[in-house]
Chain A
Amino acid sequence: MGRTVYAEERLHNYLTSLAKPDEYTIGLIVGQSVGQRDYIVHLAKTPPPLGKNVVEETLLSSTTEAEQNTAVENHIRAVKDIPESWVADHAKHVTRMLPGGMRVLGTFIVGPEDITNNNSNVQKLRSVLATMQKNLSCNKYLCGDNNEEHLILNLNSVTQKYTCKSVEIHTNGILKPADWKFQAKATKWHQLEALVDFDRLFLIAANKDPETLKKQLQDILKSVSDIIESSLIVIEGEVRSPDDTLELISKSKKDEKNSKNNEKNNNDQSIQINLYIPCEEKNMNSDVKITPCSASIRLVGQLVSRTFVHQKANVEEANIAIKQDIIRSLASRLEMHWDSLIEEENGSPEENITLHEPPRRVLIALPESKVTLSDYLFPGEGPQEALLSLQELLDLEVQENNVQKDIELEADPSEFYSQNKINVKTTDLNIDSSGNRQTKIYIASFSIAILIVILAIIIQKLY
């Protein structure tokens, strides 16, 4: 038996709206996959490539520029013209925005023919998927790797007929028919919420060759990811058996609420998650290690995680989704942060403090759904930036008030400079000339102190 795919009716409308008589539109299928079933939350058109020297930053650059470019060129005239690495890059950016447990499940293509009937087309699509898969699997902390079957959805813009196939790209297997169902009623989701508190110190040994900040952040990501993977998930205050269904848990939660007659909480049906690290003595290593260090990095702050699992999901699926969400979110922030760094802060004075502020998470609900997607805003950026990337990457028009922008706050940099009577001087190392992405790196050293911190904040406010 082939796969069964459930999608909401609005996505059918969306798909139809992409139909054009003489060109092809490719995009990504996004959702949650469980065994032989797939629950689709969104279809996202891949934005047209903008030219030869495109870097990912420009993908998010101002709309006017993008509009100009799309107006003149870059239509896909034939399947063979589909830009593989472009689609793969799109998949990476979209994956960053997905809650844990959801992935890019495959690709859709709208065009004036039945694409899967043509062998060379199929080869091309398989190669698109393979590139995408390769791109996602080399970034394990993004948790976007899809080892299973990929979906190919095709809408013939002439006949308005759609067909869906699944394919295993690793085994070079044949296309298998999949049953794609557009449903009027919305898929039901359980919403899982966790607040992960970080406060960890990472040491940089003095006798080691200095590494790039990127490498240091990668090491931190690995270490945190290991911790999250090893953690125990506690659902509504209890450790559940992996086979328990979430339906049971949220039902008993509702009963409790009703019996308490607690009306004001009734609209909130999210399931609260806590994470614990087991600390059984695995190794009896009683060494005390003393290391001369040249610097330390302290990761501190709260990561807000919101994950969705389908109605019939069990605890094990939920556990995996939650861990994925936390790791994916941290990985996305750190990647975006190191990508945004223009220069490494070398040759700065002996004693200084630098505050690295990776972008913070905002959540945006999908239309007619409680499922939220994420975007990441650098300090100084507002919700309109999130709307922009939503439109670019997900082809979604969302109102600004639909952006939940206050789940995580911007840190107050002055808090981090008031340490140890160190006199503080701050410099903005890195203000992107375009002004789109600002990363503020404050370097503190021996001189004039807090006055300048205040100044810097004022400058930031002015932007």
Chain B
Amino acid sequence: MAPQLRILSNVIERLKNIKDDVTGHLYGVMYNNTLTVLTFSINLTDNVEANINHTMLQLHMSAEVYLCGILHVGQCEEKLPEMFQDIDITDNPLFFKYTHDNLKTQAYFYIHLKLEPVNDIKIINENDIRREFIYIRLRGSLPLIAQNDNIIEVLEESKKNIVSGKVGIHFPSKNAFIFNSENIEKDISLREILNIFDSEGNKNIKKDVKPTGIEDAVNAYILLKISGDRLPEENVKYAPVLQYIKRPFNSLECNLFIDTLSLVNLNVSSADLYGILVESMCRNIKLIEKCFEYQLQKSETSIKLPLPIHFKPQGFGHLITVVYPSGYSDKETMEYRENLHKILGLNMTRPYFRYGNAVKFYNDSQTESILINPHEAISTNDDIINGNRRVQIVQGLYMYHHYMQDNFDDNGWGCAYRSLQTIISWFRLQGYTEIPIPSHRLIQKCLVDIGDKPSNFVNSKQWIGSTEVGFVLESLLDISVKVLCASTGEEVSSLAPNLLHHFQTQGTPVMIGGGVLAHTILGISYDQITGDVKFLILDPHYTGSEHLPTIINKGWCGWKSKDFWKKDAFYNMCLPQRPVCI
């Protein structure tokens, strides 16, 4: 029976940006005779120097996401069956054709040496996937000792041990364990292991809303087996001995960090789950191996520990794992990142795989408590989004900085500082900068240093406005800003087209100051017929705790009408410009 075909909507959206006559590969997850295509890669023609190809890219995917088909954009030569040669996960590889004219898609399964057209392609979104699949983030630190740079051999050895079942998995949330066991009778599903029940009935409860920008993954940890299973008599092994080898050599010791993802169906059995998690470890180790190999080739530098990091580029519906040598700067990872951009068909104008872009996880000790993208929890209605309206909002992630945070009382004077912090958090989370969020004092010091303010400005409680915000951004982040002015609150609405253009092309949060108040504008909705304008506002004057339902329900983050702006105030807006780089 031919498999069912589903395609993640993100794939179709991304295809719109791919130029014509390009071939590529498709990656997806197969479960219960349904193939779900999650992503694609582009075949690089200038592949000579590139250190990544479609089979290697699979290692960057979560376990269970496999190379599953061929992609043609526009008119490409069909070479059957050679073009399917690297696809070994299925006997029925997918052939998917996309043409830009009228956004036409055609799909075929290659069955019995024939291309069978797929008539029913379901387009699904990320939430649909999340109802059936879950990410498992498996971690562990494995001690590694190499001699005279035989790291690769040692890694191969530990990979062999892992594949042969010498690992166990611990799920701390439910204190559950799975082992490589032949005890099939006790096989239970992942759903049972994690005690997850159908939440279909109550999924729309708003008070339970989770902050966005943070990925949900089930944590799991590796256990290393140090015992053997009982062997038949003839396989008795020799007793412990000590082999003492005397010779000069250099040892290399480190703790290998495994940090790997699997995209797993909730109904998968524990025996299958074990295999999947083992595969995820192997993918991770192969990436680590590549990272070591790369470093060993350029012998002039000292060896750094490869660290796996997970990313979710904007517009993608899945996670990607990349391994960088520990301590490498964004500049040092540039070449690698360029190749990733190319093979994933990403533009070369924005960073997606810098450290700052790394995905944040729940329950991760490093995740800060400050909320990310609270506006995504707002339920939008017809007033904001309808056929007549043009809507543009901030692109990517930012953090909601407001009064009283960091145990610092700035109630009554610090709103512009907080708005500035939110803007800087956006530049951090988009990977443009790694500078920490500056404190009020640091912002003041910066303004003194550039000669804008006298030295007694530091530690004062003086307000700043959009001009100062611009100065600080230029000075700390080395970016440029644009300024818009409105002489009355009424006039702010007339700047709607400028703001639409800003959010579309730059996508950065905008700081607006008027009268005694500063706000952050996150988006704009413009009715082309009535001329009505709505502003998505993030209010830094909030003094409460990081409680998302309060923030949304009390309107600290929400859509505001033009009456939000005071008629008699003069408004200045600071529009940070996005640097062009990767």
**Could you list which residues of chain A lie within 8 angstroms of chain B, going by C-beta atoms?**
193-198, 201, 203, 206, 213, 217, 220, 227, 231-232, 234, 237-239, 272-303, 330, 333, 348, 350-361, 406-412, 416, 419
- Report whether B226 and A197 are in contact in the complex, using a CB–CB cutoff of 8 Å: yes
* Residues on B with beta carbons closer than 8 Å to the beta carbon of A281: 139-141, 255, 257
* Residues on A with beta carbons closer than 8 Å to the beta carbon of B249: 292-293, 296
In the complex, A234 Cα to B168 Cα: how many Å?
A: 10
B250 CB–A CB distance under 8 Å: yes
In the complex, A287 Cα to B224 Cα: how many Å?
A: 22
* Residues on A with beta carbons closer than 8 Å to the beta carbon of B243: 297-298, 300, 353-356, 416
- Report whether A302 and B228 are in contact in the complex, using a CB–CB cutoff of 8 Å: yes
In the complex, A291 Cα to B250 Cα: how many Å?
A: 6
* Residues on A with beta carbons closer than 8 Å to the beta carbon of B224: 276-277, 279
In the complex, A68 Cα to B241 Cα: how many Å?
A: 37
- Report whether B170 and A278 are in contact in the complex, using a CB–CB cutoff of 8 Å: yes
**A288-B254, A408-B238 known; 15 other A-B pairs, CB under 8 Å?**
A237-B181, A275-B227, A276-B226, A289-B253, A290-B250, A290-B253, A294-B248, A295-B247, A296-B244, A297-B242, A358-B242, A360-B238, A408-B236, A416-B243, A419-B245
* Residues on B with beta carbons closer than 8 Å to the beta carbon of A289: 251-254
Q: Which residue of B lies closest to A360 (CB)?
A: B239
* Residues on B with beta carbons closer than 8 Å to the beta carbon of A303: 239-240
Q: Which residue of A lies closest to B303 (CB)?
A: A288
- Report whether A274 and B183 are in contact in the complex, using a CB–CB cutoff of 8 Å: no
**Could you list which residues of chain B lie within 8 angstroms of chain A, going by C-beta atoms?**
139-142, 145, 147, 168, 170, 177, 179, 181, 183, 221-231, 233, 236-255, 257, 302-305, 307, 326-327
Q: Which residue of B lies closest to A196 (CB)?
A: B227
In the complex, A412 Cα to B236 Cα: how many Å?
A: 13
- Report whether B244 and A280 are in contact in the complex, using a CB–CB cutoff of 8 Å: no
In the complex, A217 Cα to B302 Cα: how many Å?
A: 32
Q: Which residue of B lies closest to A228 (CB)?
A: B226
Other-chain residue from B229, B238, B254 in contact with A411 (beta carbon distance below 8 A): B238
- Report whether B170 and A197 are in contact in the complex, using a CB–CB cutoff of 8 Å: no
In the complex, A9 Cα to B252 Cα: how many Å?
A: 59
- Report whether A196 and B257 are in contact in the complex, using a CB–CB cutoff of 8 Å: no
- Report whether A274 and B242 are in contact in the complex, using a CB–CB cutoff of 8 Å: no
A360-B239, A408-B238 given; A286·B305 CB < 8 A: yes
Q: Please, could you name 27 A-B residue pairs with CB atoms under 8 Å apart, sorted by A?
A: A197-B227, A232-B223, A237-B183, A274-B225, A276-B179, A276-B225, A279-B141, A281-B139, A281-B140, A283-B255, A286-B255, A286-B257, A287-B305, A288-B253, A289-B251, A290-B303, A291-B253, A292-B249, A297-B244, A301-B240, A333-B240, A353-B243, A354-B243, A354-B246, A358-B240, A361-B239, A406-B236
In the complex, A283 Cα to B257 Cα: how many Å?
A: 11
Q: Which residue of A lies closest to B180 (CB)?
A: A237
* Residues on A with beta carbons closer than 8 Å to the beta carbon of B233: 406
Other-chain residue from A203, A416, A419 in contact with B253 (beta carbon distance below 8 A): A203
Q: Is the interface of A mostly helix, strand, loop or mixed?
A: strand
In the complex, A213 Cα to B244 Cα: how many Å?
A: 10
Q: Which residue of B lies closest to A419 (CB)?
A: B245
- Report whether A295 and B239 are in contact in the complex, using a CB–CB cutoff of 8 Å: no
In the complex, A198 Cα to B224 Cα: how many Å?
A: 12
A410 to chain B, nearest CB (A): 6
* Residues on B with beta carbons closer than 8 Å to the beta carbon of A292: 248-251
A232-B223, A290-B251 given; A300·B240 CB < 8 A: yes
Other-chain residue from B170, B239, B247, B302 in contact with A288 (beta carbon distance below 8 A): B302
A278 to chain B, nearest CB (A): 5
- Report whether A275 and B225 are in contact in the complex, using a CB–CB cutoff of 8 Å: yes
B504 to chain A, nearest CB (A): 40
A237-B181, A291-B253 given; A354·B244 CB < 8 A: yes
Other-chain residue from A198, A333, A350 in contact with B246 (beta carbon distance below 8 A): A350
A234-B179, A411-B238 given; A274·B229 CB < 8 A: yes
Other-chain residue from A213, A239, A279, A358 in contact with B241 (beta carbon distance below 8 A): A358
- Report whether B236 and A407 are in contact in the complex, using a CB–CB cutoff of 8 Å: yes
In the complex, A302 Cα to B241 Cα: how many Å?
A: 9
Report which residue of A193, A293, A406 has the largest number of chain B beta carbons within 10 angstroms of its beta carbon.
A293
- Report whether A194 and B227 are in contact in the complex, using a CB–CB cutoff of 8 Å: yes
- Report whether A301 and B238 are in contact in the complex, using a CB–CB cutoff of 8 Å: yes
In the complex, A277 Cα to B224 Cα: how many Å?
A: 5
- Report whether A302 and B139 are in contact in the complex, using a CB–CB cutoff of 8 Å: no
In the complex, A54 Cα to B226 Cα: how many Å?
A: 40
Q: Which residue of B lies closest to A353 (CB)?
A: B245
* Residues on A with beta carbons closer than 8 Å to the beta carbon of B227: 194-197, 273-276
* Residues on A with beta carbons closer than 8 Å to the beta carbon of B326: 286
A381 to chain B, nearest CB (A): 12
- Report whether B241 and A293 are in contact in the complex, using a CB–CB cutoff of 8 Å: no
In the complex, A152 Cα to B100 Cα: how many Å?
A: 93
In the complex, A164 Cα to B469 Cα: how many Å?
A: 87
- Report whether A408 and B225 are in contact in the complex, using a CB–CB cutoff of 8 Å: no
Other-chain residue from B177, B223, B240, B242 in contact with A302 (beta carbon distance below 8 A): B240
- Report whether B246 and A295 are in contact in the complex, using a CB–CB cutoff of 8 Å: yes
In the complex, A298 Cα to B251 Cα: how many Å?
A: 13
* Residues on A with beta carbons closer than 8 Å to the beta carbon of B223: 232, 276-279
B285 to chain A, nearest CB (A): 14
- Report whether A276 and B168 are in contact in the complex, using a CB–CB cutoff of 8 Å: yes
Other-chain residue from A217, A232, A283, A409 in contact with B242 (beta carbon distance below 8 A): A217
Report which residue of A196, A278, A286, A354 has the largest number of chain B beta carbons within 10 angstroms of its beta carbon.
A286
Q: Which residue of B lies closest to A217 (CB)?
A: B242
In the complex, A287 Cα to B252 Cα: how many Å?
A: 10
Q: Which residue of A lies closest to B326 (CB)?
A: A286
* Residues on B with beta carbons closer than 8 Å to the beta carbon of A237: 179, 181, 183
A429 to chain B, nearest CB (A): 12
A203-B253, A302-B238, A303-B240 given; A295·B226 CB < 8 A: no
B533 to chain A, nearest CB (A): 48
* Residues on A with beta carbons closer than 8 Å to the beta carbon of B255: 281, 283, 285-286
A195 to chain B, nearest CB (A): 4
B283 to chain A, nearest CB (A): 18
* Residues on A with beta carbons closer than 8 Å to the beta carbon of B242: 217, 220, 297-300, 355-356, 358
Q: Which residue of B lies closest to A284 (CB)?
A: B257
* Residues on A with beta carbons closer than 8 Å to the beta carbon of B168: 232, 234, 276
A197-B226, A302-B240 given; A351·B246 CB < 8 A: yes
- Report whether A195 and B246 are in contact in the complex, using a CB–CB cutoff of 8 Å: no
In the complex, A59 Cα to B247 Cα: how many Å?
A: 39
- Report whether B241 and A357 are in contact in the complex, using a CB–CB cutoff of 8 Å: yes
Other-chain residue from A301, A350, A353, A416 in contact with B239 (beta carbon distance below 8 A): A301
- Of all A-B residue pairs in the complex, the 7 with the closest CB atoms, nearest first, are A360-B239, A301-B240, A276-B223, A408-B239, A302-B237, A279-B140, A195-B228
- Report whether B252 and A290 are in contact in the complex, using a CB–CB cutoff of 8 Å: yes
* Residues on B with beta carbons closer than 8 Å to the beta carbon of A276: 168, 179, 223-227
Q: Which residue of A lies closest to B246 (CB)?
A: A295
- Report whether A409 and B141 are in contact in the complex, using a CB–CB cutoff of 8 Å: no
In the complex, A43 Cα to B4 Cα: how many Å?
A: 73
* Residues on B with beta carbons closer than 8 Å to the beta carbon of A411: 238-239, 241
- Report whether A301 and B237 are in contact in the complex, using a CB–CB cutoff of 8 Å: yes
In the complex, A191 Cα to B140 Cα: how many Å?
A: 33
- Report whether B246 and A227 are in contact in the complex, using a CB–CB cutoff of 8 Å: no
* Residues on B with beta carbons closer than 8 Å to the beta carbon of A361: 239
Report which residue of B140, B141, B239, B246 has the largest number of chain A beta carbons within 10 angstroms of its beta carbon.
B239
- Report whether B229 and A195 are in contact in the complex, using a CB–CB cutoff of 8 Å: yes
* Residues on A with beta carbons closer than 8 Å to the beta carbon of B327: 286
In the complex, A287 Cα to B181 Cα: how many Å?
A: 35
- Report whether A280 and B139 are in contact in the complex, using a CB–CB cutoff of 8 Å: yes
Q: Which residue of B lies closest to A354 (CB)?
A: B244
- Report whether B244 and A295 are in contact in the complex, using a CB–CB cutoff of 8 Å: yes
* Residues on A with beta carbons closer than 8 Å to the beta carbon of B238: 301-302, 360, 408-412
